[in-house]
Every structure is written in C-alpha cells, then in structure tokens.
Amino acid sequence: MAERAGRQRACRYQDAELRALDAAGVRGLRFNFVKRLVDSVAPATLAGIAARIAPLGWHVVVYFEAAEQPELYDFIAALPTPVLVDHMGRPDVSQPVDNLISSASCG
C-alpha cells in the first residue's frame, strides 16, 4: 500500500493485492461521485470493483451531492456490498428539514 500512496485505486489492484490489503486490515473503499472533485468513472467499472471486494466482506462508502441521489439510487441499491453514505449525502442545509427528509428517503 505504501508504494501506491496517493494513488489508491481499487480498479488498478489485482485480486491478490486486494487479499493482501484485506489481510492488512482494509475493510472498504469509497466511490466519489462529487463531480467537482473527481473525474467520472463508468458505473459498470464501479460495479465490477464492488463485485471484486464483496467476497472479502468489504463495504463501499459513497460520496455524492444530495441532488445526485435520485440518479444514483438504483446503482447504489444494486451494489453487492454494505453501503455507507459519506457526509450524509451532502444535503442542501439551506432547505427546510422536511425537504431534507424527503430527499433522503427518495427511491
């Protein structure tokens, strides 16, 4: 892992490397959908990564803007791993609480 510091990308790891990371205590990874922070990765690529880590018992953390939740919901719900939502889905805190609750429960 130290060799790849700053470049950790699960899709670039071989299965043997993922098993070594698992043995070292790694238990999950993050899919970042915040467009201002990262380049887009095809959902099929991310689904393939999730399929590779699922047998290890890892989880996926998803990081996205609240406005993107409806378009990501089906993809996230279909992942074969436990899923954690990072930063509570980045809700628009300028909106009334009722809007935040309905946004969080879409799907």
pLDDT mean over 77-87:
91
Whether the Cβ atoms of residue 104 and residue 92 lie closer than 8 Å to each other: no
pTM metric for this prediction: 0.73
Range of the domain at 68: 2-104
DSSP state of 24: T
The CATH number linked to 19 is: 3.20.20.140
The count of domains in the chain is 1
Is 102 or 64 the better-scoring residue by pLDDT? 64
74 pLDDT more than 90: yes
Alpha helices in 24-84 (DSSP H): 43-53, 69-77
Percent of the chain with pLDDT over 90: 41
Mean pLDDT, the chain, rounded, equals 80
